[in-house]
Structures are given as C-alpha cells and as structure tokens.
A and B are shown apart, each in its own frame.
Chain A
Amino acid sequence: MSGIFVRGLGAVSPAGWGVAPLLAALRGGEPLPVQSLPGPMAHRTYPGRTVPAPVTRPNWLAHPRLRRASAITHFALGAALEALGSSAAPPPSSPRLGIVTGTHAACLRYSERFFGEVLRDPPTASPLLFPETVINAPASHLAAFLGGAELTYSLIGDQTAFVQALAVAADWLLERRVDLCLVVGTEEFAWPVADALRRFARGLIASEGAGALVLAREPGNGPGLRLELITNAHLHACSDTRYAAAHALRRDFPHESPRELLVDARCGVPRVDQAETAAWQGWSGLRLSPRAVLGEGLAAATAWQCVAACAALTAREADAANVSVIGGNQQAIGVRFAAGLPQASLQDT
C-alpha cells in the first residue's frame, strides 16, 4: 500500500521565523499583540499582525532573484527552507522536486503599489514592480532558488487553497511525476486585505507569513507522519450555508478518539466562527485554533494549522490530527494526519 508522508515542516508567522516560535505562541494561547499598520492615507491605519524582521538577515536574501521580491516570497522561502532542511530529503536541486503554492490574496502589496503608480502617472509606473504582482512569482522564485523544479503550480482560492495544494502534491507523488513535493501556503499583509476583512466582520485581524510541508512517498528517517486523508470539498457559496458545509466536513472524518487533536480555523470572532463551532460541538479531544492567536493569515494560516498538527504528532501529543478549514467564501475542506506507518506497510515489514 502506498502512502504519502510528511518529511519536513517550516513556518514563518507573526510569532517569528520558524516552527518553534509558532508552537510557542500556540502553547501560550494568548492572541499576539495587534499593530496599527499604515495605509495609503496618513490619518488611517489598519489593524494587523505582521512578521517580525528575522534576528539575523538570512544569507539567501542576497540571491539575485530575491533582491526585489516582495515579502510574500521571503516568507515562502523562509518556510520552505526550514521544511526542506528538516526533511532528511534528497538535495533541493533534485530534478524531481515539485512545488505547489496555495494563496488567497497573493502578491497584493506590490499590486496595490503598482496600481497606485498607474493611477498617478502611467508612463512612470515601475516595470520592476509589475512582474512581482503576478500570482506565481513566489513559486517561480522558489524554483529558481532551489535550482529547478520538475513541476510548479500556484493555486488560488479562499483559505482552503493550501489544502488543495496538498491534494495536488499527493496526486503528483502517487502518479510518480515527482519524488518530493514542497507545499507552501503564503500571504503578505496589505492594507486592502485588512480593509476588506473589516467590511465582513469587525474584529478580524489580518496577518501574514507562510507555512510549508515537504511530502514524499517514503517516510525517510523522520517520525513517519502520514497524510491520511483529505476530505471532500464542500462548497458553501452556492446554495448551501457554511453550517451545512462545516457539518458535512466533520462527517467526512473517521471515528474520533480522545487521543486525537483538532486544529480548527476559528479566529476568535464569534460571528465568523459560529459554523465551525457548531459543527465541532462535543469534540472532547485536544484542540488548537492558530488563527485566534496569530490572526487571519488566509492560506498561510491554513498551512500553520497543518504545521501545528504535524508538530503535535511528532511530539506524540496525539495519535492523529484533524485539520478543519471552513473557508470564507468557497468551501469547507479538511485534512487528517496520523503518526506511524499505515497498517498495510506495517504488515509488509
């Protein structure tokens, strides 16, 4: 029986650069401080949680491709390199590496800057900015920095885009299109995101960062974390409500036991959380809500959910972890990770 294994984890978040500060913040359980961030008008600020500057400037920032790259690429690369570095994996320059990124707001910081220049004076709008506004710029920079990639996809969608990226990566691995796949969820803070979020629900705090998982067909020397399932995608912007989608999502997960962890997408704003809260009523196991601590990091926050789930399994805090993602306006979709080899593989050995 073939399986898909998690071989490495990486994260960049408002808690800092790395998985360790992310986990420390989640263990602390307290929402991180909210900053007032500037927008285009001097008198107006936006609430947000941004990634702190790294303690030391990473050497990789000197790469020619990264000179002008936006923060979204820096975050993606920070998380990716940590995940690859901890993966006991083939060298990143392996010609059989796949890269899939998932994002919601994408390269909005340069997009709004470039569009501002276009509106002010089109002939002087910067040709240096425009290429960095393209949604697949982070994936392209990742591939270039890592020395090449067999396949590279950039997926967009609501918060669930990262889960779909996991599904694409799993497909590529099963079809043997690649041997190793880097899956990254990445976002950057930009005032239009904060502005839009407040129009849907006051109290939603935009944040930024990235999370990365390295997937492979073999467990390697790692703890043998398995991608056990990805649920159906339950659309909820058509006729169904988010409630129905959230309940359908829970039904897709197998039986639950007290030794299981739930990592949900609740952000601490009751109006936004109510569908997920109702769907998971009665959950008796461990539970984490990364967005409530770190903010609405969109697809990056979904990646943090998965990183937190895998880290808990590595630390043997649970036997399995269910990640529930009730997206804002597309679908509800979930992932389940489990510790140890699948039953058939154990029998094989």
Chain B
Amino acid sequence: MLFPPKPSPAPQRVVVTGAGIVTALGIGWRVNAAGFRQGRRAFRPVTLFDVSRQRAKVAGEVDLPAALPPTRLSARTARRLNRASRQLLWATAEAWQQAGWEPGEDLPQVLGTTSCGMECGESYYRQALASPASQRGQPTRALCYQGQRQALDVAEAFGFRGPITLIANACASGSNAIGHAWELVRAGRAERVLTGGYDALSQLVFAGFDSLQALSPTTCRPFDAHRDGLALGEGAAVLTLESLAYARRRGAEILGEIIGYGAATDCHHLTQPHPEGDAALRSMQETCARAGLSPEAVGYVNAHGTGTQLNDAAEARAINRWAGAHAAHLPVSSTKGSVGHLLGAAGAVEAVVALMVLREGWLPPQPLVETVDPACAFPLVREPREAKVEVVLSNSFGFGGANATLLLRRWP
C-alpha cells in the first residue's frame, strides 16, 4: 500500500549503486567523464527542427545510435520509441547493468521531466491540422507524448513493476526526483528506487526560451561577467538508489552516498529568481541541515549556473550567503557550459557529474570564462583540476520558483 506506510525503521543510509548518463558528450559514464573533466563543449547547429528564424542556432544534441541497448521490449514497441524514451532507455540500461539489479514486482520509479515526449506532441499537432480526419499514427503519438509512457517503457524494458511518480518541477525536476527517491529509501518506504530525469530537445521549448531571449546568441558562459544566455541541451541520467543495508546484503559496489536533499519555493516571479537568491539559500541550508553538515564540509559546488544574467547573479549571491567565509575556498562550476541546460534532466545529469567528481578526483572546468562575474565570492573552476573531494553540493533551480539541492558524499 502507498498509504499508510509500514512502520518506519530508523532512517536508512541511501547509496548509489548504478549510474547511467546520456548527454551531447556521448552515451555512458566514461565518455562523459572524459568530456566534463576537460570542460569539452558539445554544441552544434540544431538539426532536429528548423531554427533558421531563431536568434540562437546551436544546442547540445545527442548522437543517438539507431540500435537500442538489449532489453525485453518487443521490436514493435522499440520501433515506436521517441527520442526522449530512447535517451532514457540508454541511461537506464547503463545504471541497471552497473547495479546488477534483478527485475522485481515492487520497484518504484521516480523520474523528473518537463517536456515528456514533446516531439510526439508536436507531430500530433502538425498532423491534426494538416489531415484532421487521418487516424494514421495519431493514437501512438498521443500516447508517446505523455510522460508516463517513457516510464512505462523503462518498466517494460527491464521487467519490473511498481508505482511510477513523475515530477514536473521545471528545471529542478531531476533533482526533485532523486530527492524524492532518496526520501522513500531513507524512510524505509522502499529498499530500492530507480530515479533520474530526462528531456529531449523540442521545437516548442527551443522557441520558448528563444522568445524570452534567454538563449545565448554567442557562447554559453555561466558566471562570466559578459554572459548572454543559456544553451539548451538534451539527455537523461538514471541512478539506482538503495539502502546501504540492501546494497551490503547483495554485495553491490557503491558509487557514492546521497546524504541530503532540500527544496524551497521562490515566489518572486514565474521566470525570474529572487535577486538575492533567498529560496536557493533556503534550499542549500535545508539540505545541509538534514545531512547534519556545515558548508565547510562541502568541497565542491556543481552550480545550476545556466548562463543567464539573472540566474547566475542570484545563485552567486545565494552561495556567498550560504558558505560565508568558506566561499573563498569553495570551488564552484557549472557543467551547462559543456552540454547545455538539460531542463528536467539537468539535476540528474549533474548528480552523476557529482559522483564522477567524488569517485575520480577532478573538478569540471569552464575554460571559456574570460572575466568572472565579480558577484562570485568563490573560485570558479576554469582549468582542469585534480581534487579529492569528500562532499559535493548540486543545485537545480527552475521556472515557477522550484529550487532543489542534493548533497552527495564520497564512498570510501
């Protein structure tokens, strides 16, 4: 039963035993780690739809192979998968294999997305206008547009069942999803949860950000004093979370531990953060309080850092206020300069980046930043750098004032 829950044991420690990642840098941990470590940029002219009349022309498009990873999906089902489903499937396959999970009857899935299967919604709209009487392909497009379809595809592909929760908190969705999954395991509601986020590029969303003049017509440079906007990307990231006790029982390799999650709502404006970053500050403070850690324990911050004037200024102030004197020694960077803003997938992809930092001992740089915004009281990572970090904090903020923060710890 979803409610009432079983009597709660003492709070469980929550570990990550599998991680899968798909971005414009490539598919899989290895290629992404190599790219993020060097601060490689993966933008190219948009080919998925017409951008000739938009201000911005590039995005972080994923090169998706024609084949899919081996799963239980029928050939017929596999043929109708859209771009979002395919990316999510690749990320899940990597995480699933790494975790060594077996199918089960009660495995919850918590995913974040903001566009769902928008590509299919757009196709549906076009055909409904062009050939209103034609039924051809329309039911499939209507189904694949819906967010639950991608989650059901994953469940079917890997042979498990359980409650599906889809969180659509705009660009914080991925972090909220991982945070919610963390809470389920921590509270003893589930021993393991499949979680993450996904979003594929779509014409509506690209044009939307362009209409707001939020896309950079030059180069996306988060925290640069002369930044002029964000770049969109696409992708997916999936984590297998389980209680430490469960992971130990089955002898699983542990990639890292999630030790805190916090969220806050910014009511300042639908699309603009509070200029002082009040809600971002509350989100970071709550996360650390739940983990029982002070800012001094954090060794690196993976910032939301979109590259827009308003976001980066507010986030910089929030980090300064939260870290206090520690800010001067706290390395911060945004990986959106490498792969773009992945919207509902951003928080999940950045959680995997945090795991890479913890396991491999490097910090992701932003080599194209020329003049760091003076609002940054912290050192912005601009060159590839080795560093042994114990705790990483990852921020995600979204339209509508959705703010979420995750705290991850190195597994010894």
Contact = CB atoms under 8 A, between A and B. Distances in A.
Partners in one complex: yes
Interface of A: 4, 40-41, 44, 65, 99, 104, 106, 111-112, 114-116, 118-119, 121-123, 125-127, 130-137, 139-141, 143-144, 147-158, 161, 164, 166-168, 170-171, 174-175, 192, 195-196, 199-200, 227, 229-233, 235, 237-239, 252, 329-331, 333
B270 A131 contact: yes
Interface of B: 1-5, 53-54, 113-114, 116, 121-122, 124-126, 128-129, 132, 135, 138-139, 142-143, 146-149, 152, 155-156, 161-170, 176, 180, 183, 187, 189, 203-204, 207-213, 263-265, 267, 270-271, 398-402
A148 B265 contact: yes
A154 B401 contact: no
Given A143-B265, A158-B146, A130 B208 contact: yes
Given A133-B208, A252-B1, A157 B152 contact: no
B208 A114 contact: yes
Nearest to B106: A232
Contact of B170 (A111, A136, A195): A136
Contact of B263 (A44, A65, A126, A151): A151
Contact of A133 (B138, B147, B204, B213): B204
Contacts of B183: 171, 175
Contacts of B271: 131
Nearest to A4: B3
B400 A134 contact: yes
Contacts of A65: 270
Contacts of B180: 153, 168
Contact of B146 (A139, A140, A171, A329): A329
Given A114-B204, A115-B204, A156 B2 contact: no
Given A122-B53, A147-B267, A130 B152 contact: no
A interface: dominant SS? mixed
A65 to B, nearest CB: 7
Contacts, number: 203
Contacts of B2: 164, 167, 230-233, 333
Contact of B167 (A114, A131, A155, A199): A155
A175 B147 contact: no
With a 10 A CB-CB cut-off, give which of A130, A135, A170, A231 has the most chain B CB atoms: A135
B53 A127 contact: no
28 contacts: A114-B207, A115-B204, A122-B53, A123-B54, A127-B213, A130-B207, A131-B212, A132-B270, A135-B114, A137-B270, A139-B400, A140-B265, A143-B267, A148-B267, A149-B265, A151-B263, A151-B264, A152-B263, A154-B169, A156-B116, A156-B166, A157-B148, A168-B180, A170-B3, A229-B3, A229-B4, A232-B2, A233-B2
A192 B124 contact: yes
Contacts of A233: 2, 162-164
